[in-house]
Amino acid sequence: MNYHGYHIGNRLRLTITKHPTAISLIILGSIITLLLLALPAHAGGTGGLQRYFSDAAAKVRATEDPAEKREILNQTFQTMSAALDMAQKSELISKNDGIGIARFRAALQEKQDELAGRNGYTRVPDEQLNAFSEYVVQDTEQADQTITISLIALLLVIILVVLLVH
51-55, 78-82, 109-113, 161-165 — which is least confidently predicted? Answer: 161-165
Taking CA atoms, 145 is separated from 106, 138, 139, 153, in Å, by 16, 12, 10, 16
CA-CA distance, 29 to 33, in Å (whole number)? 6
Say what the pTM is.
0.64
pLDDT tens profile 7-49: 455 554 445 455 566 666 666 666 665 555 544 443 344 466 7
Q: Is the same domain home to 50 and 116?
A: yes
pLDDT tens profile 90-145: 777 788 878 888 888 898 999 999 999 999 999 999 999 999 999 998 888 776 54
For residue 112, the domain's CATH number is 1.20.120
Q: Is the same domain home to 97 and 35?
A: no
Q: Is the same domain home to 82 and 61?
A: yes
Q: Which domain holds residue 36?
A: 1-43
CA-CA distance, 56 to 133, in Å (whole number)? 8
Q: Is the same domain home to 24 and 60?
A: no
Q: Is the same domain home to 39 and 87?
A: no
Q: Is the same domain home to 28 and 51?
A: no
Q: What is the largest CA-CA distance in the chain?
A: 76
Q: Out of 24, 43, 62, pick the residue that ends a domain.
A: 43
Q: Is the same domain home to 95 and 134?
A: yes
Give the chain's domain count: 2
Angle between helix axes 129-146 and 95-116 (nearest 10 degrees) is 160
Q: Is the same domain home to 66 and 27?
A: no
